[in-house]
Chains A and B, each alone.
Chain A
Amino acid sequence: DAKTTQPTSMDCAEGRAANLPCNHSTISGNEYVYWYRQIHSQGPQYIIHGLKNNETNEMASLIITEDRKSSTLILPHATLRDTAVYYCIVREGGNDYKLSFGAGTTVTVRA
């Protein structure tokens, strides 16, 4: 699986957009980008995934660069409840049951 690189931590103001970067320069053509988050030691929660097109759902948007070597998760209006560790994971489609979680980015949303 392609490795991912994320910043260790970042702060965001409540109500503002949070942009979380992820580098995955060795991603292969059949690998998807998944994002999960983990709030205060709860089980991780799926956010969004994508292959090459930008994706949006009720939680977030995922922007993948044209060369697919990096992506950005966007939380459009961060709230205090979005404070969590965010994981960017690259994995072949269909293999989502054996994900490899790195250290992630600790996002702190401040009032």
Chain B
Amino acid sequence: NAGVTQTPKFQVLKTGQSMTLQCAQDMNHEYMSWYRQDPGMGLRLIHYSVGAGITDQGEVPNGYNVSRSTTEDFPLRLLSAAPSQTSVYFCASSYWPEQYFGPGTRLTVT
């Protein structure tokens, strides 16, 4: 099993650009989540999904959209990138009691 995979590993955007961070898992987990981690801080929940077709907002959802058309994939869309969205983004899938995290995408917005 590949587990949770994320692409790209690194990305630089200009302010106002949009992009999609990809996340996929091959463990057939119903639950998936997106977090962001700013320097020196813990992870904060952006959006999560409890199954295909069902998503909900986390702690810091503004500026991000998600969709879940399949169990495997949970992409995160940045609508209009801002410097405040410079961060490391982690995707995770869950099967109680454990969350399995991907390697992260390091995003810089200039």
| Co-complex (A, B) | yes
Q: How many residues of B contact A (CB 8 A)?
A: 28
Measured in the bound complex, the distance between the Cα atoms of B33 and A97 in whole Å is 6
Q: Which residues of B sit under 8 angstroms from A41, Cβ to Cβ?
A: 88, 104
Closest-by-CB residue of B relative to A44 is B101
Contact A44 B99 (CB under 8 A): yes
Closest-by-CB residue of B relative to A42 is B103
Q: Which residues of A sit under 8 angstroms from B44, Cβ to Cβ?
A: 101
Contact B96 A43 (CB under 8 A): no
Among A16-45, those with CB < 8 Å from B are 32, 34, 36, 41-45
Measured in the bound complex, the distance between the Cα atoms of B94 and A96 in whole Å is 7
Q: How large is the interface on A (under 10, 10 to 19, 20 to 34, 35 or more residues)?
A: 20 to 34
B42 at the interface (CB under 8 A from A): yes
Inter-chain residue pair count (beta carbon < 8 A): 62
Q: Which residues of B sit under 8 angstroms from A49, Cβ to Cβ?
A: 97
Least distance between A27 CB and chain B CB atoms (Å)? 16
Say whether, besides A97-B31, A97-B32, A97-B48, A43 and B102 are in contact (CB < 8 Å). yes
- Of the residues B31, B33, B97, contact of A46 by C-beta under 8 Å: B97
Q: Which residues of B sit under 8 angstroms from A45, Cβ to Cβ?
A: 101
Contact A43 B59 (CB under 8 A): no
Contact B59 A99 (CB under 8 A): no
